[in-house]
């Protein structure tokens, strides 16, 4: 006997919030329970918006982790249904890891209902090879798609880093005191002068508050999106204004690891800041 209905919504990129993914998943979450005369229980918000499932982040630090804990303590009671659009919303990890999410949920006595394809999985599905085969195929396909995408992105960034080391622009994005032209980077004079002023004041011993206050008249002449990047005092403790670009992925060095520093990848050293930076 089904007692309550909960939904789990996930997509990998925050940009998808502006698209159809959230709307589509939300509509199914509300429509499905009505088919069996239930309402959606919204006392738990189980949404991982902009959270990847490739490495299981949604289960470790996301709302799926909260869902699993709610199942463990009985906050989501036996006999409930968990509504998800498709199996890969739960996980896009290797099949073994994905199964370790799928099977424990069913073992709590909670049903999983998917939209694509429209299926209802119960505890009995675990021992039904035919019923289990289809989600296994979806899990495997989802992981292969994510692994392929991850490989291509890593390869593309590796090529960009190689070109950057040879002096080519790494991306179209540039520090706010530079703009990219067909001939390469070009200084934006008023912003470049703001950066020089910040380094000079920092080298003279002025703190962040004093430097910020002194630079205020200059900042008012630049657009807000550039002010924070150009006038921000933290630039004094970083090397990218002198022409270095730090580039790495979390896989390579972790969120606090040592980054690959590429000299000359951004011609910020043309600002004549290297001497000031080294002395700072």
Residues serving a catalytic function are: 12
Does residue 91 contact residue 67 with C-beta atoms inside 8 Å?
Answer: no
- Nearest-angstrom CA–CA distance, 211 and 190: 17
- Nearest-angstrom CA–CA distance, 22 and 32: 16
Tally Cβ neighbours within 10 Å of residue 18: 9
The two tokens of residue 269 are 């050293």
Does residue 42 contact residue 118 with C-beta atoms inside 8 Å?
Answer: no
Long-range pairs of 13-17 with CB within 8 A, sequence gap ≥ 24: 13/50, 14/49, 14/50, 16/50, 17/49, 17/50
The two tokens of residue 98 are 């994905």
SS3 of residue 175 by DSSP: coil
Burial category of 272 from C-beta neighbours within 10 Å (exposed 0-12, middle 13-18, buried 19 and up): exposed
Does residue 247 contact residue 157 with C-beta atoms inside 8 Å?
Answer: yes
Which residues are registered as beta bridge partners of 261? 246
SS3 of residue 78 by DSSP: coil
């Amino acid at each position: 006997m089904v007692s309550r209905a909960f939904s789990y919504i996930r997509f990998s990129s925050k940009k998808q919030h502006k698209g159809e993914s959230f709307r589509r998943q939300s509509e199914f979450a509300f429509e499905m329970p009505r088919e069996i005369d239930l309402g959606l229980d919204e006392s738990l918000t189980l949404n991982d918006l902009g959270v990847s499932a490739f490495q299981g982040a949604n289960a470790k630090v996301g709302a799926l982790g909260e869902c699993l804990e709610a199942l463990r303590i009985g906050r989501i009671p036996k006999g409930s249904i968990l509504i998800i659009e498709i199996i890969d919303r739960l996980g896009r990890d290797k099949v073994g890891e994905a199964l370790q999410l799928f099977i424990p949920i069913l073992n709590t006595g909670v049903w999983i209902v998917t939209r694509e394809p429209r299926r209802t999985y119960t505890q009995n599905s675990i021992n039904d090879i035919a019923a289990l085969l289809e989600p296994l195929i979806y899990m495997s396909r989802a992981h292969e798609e994510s692994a392929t995408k991850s490989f291509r992105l890593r390869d593309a960034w590796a090529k960009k880093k190689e070109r950057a080391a040879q002096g080519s622009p790494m991306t179209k994005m540039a520090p706010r005191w530079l703009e990219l032209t067909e001939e390469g980077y070009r200084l934006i004079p008023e912003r470049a002068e703001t950066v020089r002023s910040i380094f000079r004041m920092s080298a003279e011993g002025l703190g962040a508050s004093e430097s910020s206050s002194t630079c205020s008249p200059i900042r008012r002449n630049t657009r807000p999106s550039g002010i924070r990047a150009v006038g921000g005092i933290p630039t004094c403790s970083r090397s990218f204004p002198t022409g270095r670009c730090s580039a790495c992925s979390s896989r390579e060095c972790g969120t606090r690891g040592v980054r690959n520093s590429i000299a000359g990848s951004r011609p910020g050293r043309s600002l004549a800041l290297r001497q000031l930076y080294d002395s700072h």
